[in-house]
Amino acid sequence: MTMSKLSGFLELLKAPLKILSQNASARPGTPDFTKLLVAIREDTGIFLGIEVAYMVIFFFVSLFAQTTVIIIASCYYTGNDFSLKELVLKVSKTWTRPFVTSLWVQLLALGYTSFFLLPFLVPSLVLFDHRTILITILIFLAIFFITFYIYLSVVWGLAIVVSVVEDSYGYSSLGKAKELVNGKRVHGFLLNLFFILVLVVIAIIGSKLSPAMPIVGGVIQILLMGTISMFQSMAYTGFYFQCKNDMTKSGGLEYSRIPAAPVLDQYIP
């Protein structure tokens, strides 16, 4: 019985070699095979280049759109008013700060995800033969991973708003966001959870529309997700001002920025 299984396995390995031997142009070392490899390499390079270019363009378009939405939303809370020219100028001077903060957020998210790969990997290797127990453990780990990720992303999302509204970026924005969100993490968590559930519903509806109308369904899905992302940025801007007002009322003066006005000699005793 064991020998028959082994021979069957060897036959599976021999099958690709038989296919290659029947096709002389696909044999390694032949000119046609070399041309085929070169063509595959060129096509792969072009494909990867297009994918990278798309991701970079999408990232910067999203960054500029998010910065613009946060600035417009902050005007509602501060009472300021910008013309279109002033808004464009403000965005052009501000976008570098949320850009740096976004890089920090991406690094933190990558580190968090990498850190949790081990708890998923160990049960998969140890309990491979016990499918029911393995699936149960993985479900609990996934719930914990997603819940804690949403919890952490409250500070990350607020840090983007801080980097737009205030003269701060990167690690400094993350620190200020952490101070601001003290006592309000549950509100931010529920805010994130709400938008995630809405995106999940959109994705489910889009997946049902895609087989019948793939292009139309995809466009509608992208537009809806962009609209939800805009509302999320506006909601986080309101969340920022709410946190800051609560900190001001509670006497959180340690967060107030020190004025940069010069000290005059007549005020020195």
Q: What is the 3-state secondary structure (H, E, C) of 63-127?
A: HHHHHHHHHHHHHHHHCCCCCHHHHHHHHHHHCHHHHHHHHHHHHHHHHHHHHCHHHHHHHHHHC
* DSSP at 86: H
Please give the DSSP secondary-structure letter assigned to residue 167. Answer: S
Q: How far is CA 134 from CA 78, 117, 129, in A?
A: 53, 15, 8
Torsion of the alpha carbons at 121, 125, 126 and 128, rounded to the nearest 10: 120
Q: Are 137 and 171 in contact (CB under 8 A)?
A: no
Domain segments of the chain as ranges: 26-250
> Do 158 and 239 contact (CB within 8 A), yes or no?
yes
Identify the three-state secondary structure at position 122.
helix
The confidence score (pLDDT) of residue 31 equals 64
- Residue-wise pLDDT tens for the chain (269 aa)? 555 555 555 566 565 555 555 554 555 556 665 666 667 777 777 878 888 888 888 888 888 988 999 998 888 888 888 888 888 888 888 899 999 999 999 999 988 888 877 777 766 666 666 778 778 888 888 888 888 889 989 999 999 999 999 888 888 999 888 888 888 888 889 988 999 998 888 888 877 776 666 677 777 888 888 888 889 889 999 999 988 888 777 665 444 443 434 444 443 33
The number of CA neighbours under 13 Å toward the Cβ of 60 is 7
137: how many CB neighbours lie within 10 A of its CB? 18
Compute CA distances 39 → 22, 62, 112, 201, 229, whole Å.
Answer: 21, 34, 39, 41, 40
Give the Cα separation of 209 and 220 in Å (integer): 10
Distance CA 269, CA 261 (A): 18
Task: Using DSSP, state whether 83 is helix, strand or coil.
Answer: coil
Structural contact between residues 65 and 230, judged by C-beta atoms closer than 8 angstroms: yes
pLDDT of 120 reads: 72
Closest C-alpha among 147, 156, 83, 145 to residue 120: 145
